[in-house]
Amino acid sequence: MRNQTAILIPEPNKRNQSAALVPDSDRRTQITVSEASKRNQTTVLISEPNKMYCDLLKKAFYVVRHRFQVVACASTTAEILIGIEETRPHVAIVSANLQDGPLTGIRILPEIRRINPDTRTLVALEAPEPDLVIEAFRLGADGVFCRNSPFDLLCTSVDAVSQGQIWASNDELRFVLNAFAKSSKQRKMDSNVKSRMTKRETEVVRLAVEGLSNREIGQQLGLTEHTVKNYLFRVFDKLGVSNRVELVLSCLRQEEDAREDIAAIQRNAAPSR
């Protein structure tokens, strides 16, 4: 199973094959959480950058509709937030990468929790890379799931997080525990590194985090592609990262830490009642 390249979709019974097709999205009916609860169903929001894959996954869940009810599908962060607001699902399956760009699915996790704290989030990863697993849990994920795992395991993970459990393998939990052990040291390092970055390096990093290519960054800043690469390599050395994924995660970590610091200052400054 570890070597599979796609989620396995159960084949519907041939006698009921036509009934297994999900109604067209224009004709779909909205199922509320309370209605689904009466039927002992778990309501699910699916997000995938590939709309065809999203439709296939929705049809797979329809086969097991006695357990799950897909209430919304999304391919962008905006669609996810609208879906969370309108349907209030029990579980949101959030792809790490969306049409908005790489890692936008992970970045949106705090906003999902703000809109509906009761929605559990399960992040779908291409592979269980330590940095991605750590960042997903740090930003509020209730579980992580590899997209090359079988469909029945996905169903099990949705069941688990809907019941308030954390879904992760032993290795993935070890990643998180190791990160906790060195978090204070990492935070001090991030603060010191940021103060040593030049204005131009900061501009290049900002555009890289937004998902622009080296050529697009060069066009915006009036630099050659080769010069942009040199800036990125210098930033990699300063941050102690080796690629763009690690760079983005490091920057997201700093942004979240800054927001937490501001919130703490505001709480402390608030007058006592």
8 Å CB contact between 122 and 142: yes
pLDDT tens per residue across span 55-90: 999 999 999 888 999 999 999 999 999 999 999 999
pLDDT higher than threshold 60 for residue 267: no
Query: Mean pLDDT lowest for which of 2-11, 47-56, 87-96, 97-106?
Result: 2-11
pLDDT higher than threshold 70 for residue 190: no
8 Å CB contact between 122 and 157: yes
For residue 27, give the amino acid letter. Answer: R
Q: Please, which pLDDT band fits residue 214 given cuts at 50, 70 and 90?
A: confident
- Rounded CA separation 207/202 (Å): 9
The pLDDT, as a whole number, for residue 96 is: 94
Query: What is the pairing mode between strands 91-95 and 42-47?
Result: parallel
pLDDT higher than threshold 90 for residue 183: no
Query: What is the pairing mode between strands 68-74 and 120-125?
Result: unpaired
| E strands present in the chain | 42-47, 68-74, 91-95, 120-125, 143-146
Q: What is the 3-class SS of 7-75, one letter each residue? A: CCCCCCCHHHCHHHCCCCHHHCCCCCHHHHHHCCCEEEEEECCCHHHHHHHHHHHHHCCCCEEEEEEEC
The pLDDT, as a whole number, for residue 42 is: 93
The pLDDT, as a whole number, for residue 48 is: 93
47 DSSP β-pair partners: 74, 94
The dihedral built from the CA positions of residue 105, 108, 110 and 111, taken in this order, carries a sign that is negative
Q: Is 153 exposed, middle or buried (0-12, 13-18, 19+ CB in 10 A)?
A: middle
- What is the pTM (predicted TM-score) of this model? 0.58
8 Å CB contact between 49 and 97: yes
Buried b / exposed e across 203-240, counting CB within 10 Å, b at 16+?
Answer: bbbebbbeebebeebbeeeebeeebbeebbeebbebbe
The pLDDT, as a whole number, for residue 210 is: 77
Query: Mean pLDDT lowest for which of 20-29, 142-151, 173-182?
Result: 20-29
Determine the length of the chain.
273
pLDDT higher than threshold 70 for residue 245: no
Query: Mean pLDDT lowest for which of 14-18, 102-106, 124-128?
Result: 14-18
The dihedral built from the CA positions of residue 230, 231, 237 and 242, taken in this order, carries a sign that is negative
Tokens linked to 76: 């962008």
pLDDT tens per residue across span 13-57: 333 332 233 333 333 334 445 555 556 789 999 999 998 988 999
pLDDT higher than threshold 90 for residue 154: yes
* Torsions phi, psi for 68 (to 5 deg): -130, 150
Which residue segments constitute the domains of the chain, with CATH numbers given?
14-179 (3.40.50.2300), 184-269 (1.10.10.10)
